[in-house]
């Protein structure tokens, strides 16, 4: 157990639907990062939050959004889902922004049918 908890572990949904993925960071960590991993794209950085504020955006689609709550857990919202959104979604946490050691969760496998 890495200390980063992601739920659900698996999710199957239909095209056009909306889902929410949840991440609880390791205790004491203030930064949360979301990554998408599909077979042909590798690990792609989506978005970063630090202590409730958005700090950096990567290759995140407009259909996707995220937030970090006061208790530091984070949610990634994916809407108008397409088949190509099927992927593993990982959350990582770190103590600070410049800290270089990330702890990853075990991921949520999203399948869009």
Partner 1 sequence: DAKTTQPNSMESNEEEPVHLPCNHSTISGTDYIHWYRQLPSQGPEYVIHGLTSNVNNRMASLAIAEDRKSSTLILHRATLRDAAVYYCILRDQNSGYALNFGKGTSLLVTP
Q: What is the CA radius of gyration of the chain?
A: 13
Indicate whether 59 belongs to the interface with partner 1 (CB under 8 A).
no
Regarding 102 and contact with partner 1 (CB under 8 A), the answer is: yes
| Span interacting with partner 1, options 10-18, 69-77, 79-87, 99-107, rule CB under 8 A | 99-107
DSSP conformational letter for 94? E
From 18, 21, 39, 48, select the one nearest 87 (Cα to Cα): 39
**Residue 18 CB, nearest distance to partner 1 (Å)?**
24
| Measured torsion, CA atoms of residues 102, 38, 7, 29, in degrees rounded to the nearest 10 | 10
Inter-residue contact 75 to 66 (CB < 8 Å): yes
Is there binding between residue 101 and partner 1 (CB under 8 A)?
Answer: yes
Q: Which position among 7, 16, 17, 58 is part of the footprint of partner 1 (CB under 8 A)? A: 58
Our finding on whether 105 is near partner 1 (CB under 8 A) is yes
- Asked if 64 is part of the footprint of partner 1 (rule: CB under 8 A), the reply reads no
């Amino acid at each position: 157990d890495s200390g980063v908890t992601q739920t659900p572990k698996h999710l199957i949904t239909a095209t056009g639907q909306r889902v929410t993925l949840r991440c609880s960071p390791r205790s004491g960590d203030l930064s949360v990062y979301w990554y998408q991993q599909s077979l042909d794209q590798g690990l792609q950085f989506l978005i970063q939050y630090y202590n409730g504020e958005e700090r950096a955006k990567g290759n995140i689609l407009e259909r996707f959004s995220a937030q970090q709550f006061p208790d530091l857990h984070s949610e990634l919202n994916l809407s108008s889902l397409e088949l190509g959104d099927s992927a593993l979604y990982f959350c990582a946490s770190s103590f600070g922004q410049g800290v270089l050691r990330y702890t990853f969760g075990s991921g949520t496998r999203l399948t869009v049918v």
